[in-house]
């Protein structure tokens, strides 16, 4: 499949701005507008806007859950390197020694914070 210069430029702009979401299977890609975060700050580092880019850094598939607890039903499995928007963080039951959980807006599920890298950005509390 051939791509035009305009399409390549658009894809590069979406990738660098962090609004290109790719599914775990890598078969689809959609651009989505940022959403407003709820809560009042928290965490360290810089705040990059109403949401923060997060990258899955789990050594294998990461199970994301319906509720912010390791006992909640799994709603999706993400591959290492998967990127999504982190909207906010809550304190919950500890998972691998980390009690924080991130809400991922694209997959609409909770992920343990220790498995998602946010480039040192401050993530607001939910």
Comparing 1 with 56, the larger pLDDT belongs to 56
Is residue 42 within 8 Å of 89, Cβ to Cβ? yes
pLDDT tens track for 37-90: 333 333 444 444 567 899 999 999 999 999 999 999 999 999 999 999 999 999
Specify the pLDDT at position 54. 95
Specify the pLDDT at position 50. 65
CA distance 119 to 53: 8
Comparing 40 with 100, the larger pLDDT belongs to 100
- DSSP labels, 86-118: EEEEEEEEEETTEEEEEEETTTTEEEEGGGEE-
Question: In the beta sheet, which residues pair with residue 47?
Answer: none
């Amino acid at each position: 499949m051939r791509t035009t210069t305009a399409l390549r430029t658009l894809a590069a702009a979406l990738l660098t701005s962090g609004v290109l979401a790719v599914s775990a299977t890598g078969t689809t890609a959609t651009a989505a507008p940022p959403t407003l975060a709820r809560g009042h700050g928290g965490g360290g580092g810089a705040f990059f806007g109403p949401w923060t880019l997060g990258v899955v850094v789990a050594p294998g598939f990461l199970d994301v859950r319906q509720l912010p607890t390791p006992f909640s039903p799994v709603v999706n499995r993400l591959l290492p390197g998967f990127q999504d928007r982190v909207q906010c963080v809550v304190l919950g039951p500890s998972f691998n020694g980390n009690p924080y959980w991130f809400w991922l807006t694209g997959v609409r599920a909770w992920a343990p914070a220790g498995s998602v890298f946010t480039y040192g950005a401050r993530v607001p509390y939910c």
